[in-house]
Amino acid sequence: MEAVMGSELGVVRPATDAHAEEAIEAIKAGKVIAVPTDTLYGFACDACSSEAVNRIYEIKGRKHTSPLAICVGDVLDIQRFAVTDHLPDGLLGSLLPGPVTVVLRRGELSIIEKSLNPGLDSIGVRVPDCDFIRVIARGSETALALTSANLSGQPSSVCIKDFENLWEHCAYVYDGGVLPSGRAGSTVVDLSRLGKYKILRPGRKLMNYMPVDHLVVSLSFGSKRDSPALEQATSSVPWKRLFAILERHSLMPEAAAA
């Protein structure tokens, strides 16, 4: 699909390398863009710009008390914005790139806009398995604030038509076709505590992780730990691979809240 300009619409472009540079320039200029990821379509902006971050909250009608995640281009970039020195070598590289958000403690010297995670000392970080958004993050030389492209509380978007009513608020809307996630977001794993993990949100199935030597079925879902539906949903081989990765790096499930 080539560019489409309307008086009330954002500019629609194909999500290809040919259009990455204009997306990078839009991010540097403090604009909001819509992009495909390996899970859902998302709104993205410079995570270090308070004006741009606030604009995303306004577009979504999202409460400012709800945190946003950030996206970086490569796993090594995570340490610029979050504390990673307590993690076993190779753990982040085993999980990312992929449909996972890792929650870590925010770095003391991080320049990430504080309105991303108001009142919290942690931040969610993504490295999607999606070349287009990673090229944008690298070229922008910053982290991107990233959240689903929809009104708060409404269904997530797997094609750009799903959020057509919001195009006008974006400098560019990048079309990557229909995404195969089935409207499931990323799996959110809290790695902020030394030697512990907690799965805060089960998301898209994790089909491409490394083979495992043995399968681990320990679950940690906060207050939902005993949910039969969640336990059944995570009994598949992809999920067991996730648990095996965490165990292989000597992480144990954090005790769930009563």
The three-state (H, E, C) secondary structure of 56-100, written as one string: HHHHHCCCCCCCCEEECCCHHHHHHCECCCCCCCCHHHHHCCCCE
**What stretch of H or E contains 252?**
strand 252-253
CA 27 to each of CA 118, 158, 214: distance values in angstroms, whole numbers, following the listed order: 22, 22, 44
Strand partners, 235: none
Residue positions counted in the chain: 258
| Confidence (pLDDT) at 208 | 43
How large is the average pLDDT for residues 134-145? 97
Q: Distance between alpha carbon 243 and the CA centroid of its chain, in Å?
A: 19
Q: Report if residue 237 sits inside a domain.
A: no
Distance CA 154, CA 5 (A): 26
Dihedral of CA 238/95/105/61: which sign? negative
Query: pLDDT band at residue 56, thresholds of 50, 70 and 90?
Result: very high
pLDDT, one tens digit per residue, over 194-252 is 998 998 888 765 544 433 332 233 334 443 444 444 454 444 556 677 888 888 898 88
Take residue 22 and report the two structure tokens written for it. Answer: 């204009």
Provide the number of structural domains found in the chain. 1
Residue 133 in domain:
yes
* Residue 216 resides in a domain: no
Tell me the whole-structure pTM to 2 decimals: 0.83
Are 201 and 188 contacting, i.e. CB atoms less than 8 angstroms apart?
yes
- Domain for residue 172, yes or no? yes
Q: Is residue 232 part of a domain?
A: no
For 39, the domain range is 4-203
Residue 133 to residue 170: CA distance in whole angstroms: 15
SS3 at position 105: strand
143-178 tens-digit pLDDT? 999 999 999 999 999 999 999 999 999 999 999 999
| 220 within domain boundaries | no
Q: Give the domain CATH number at 29.
A: 3.90.870.10
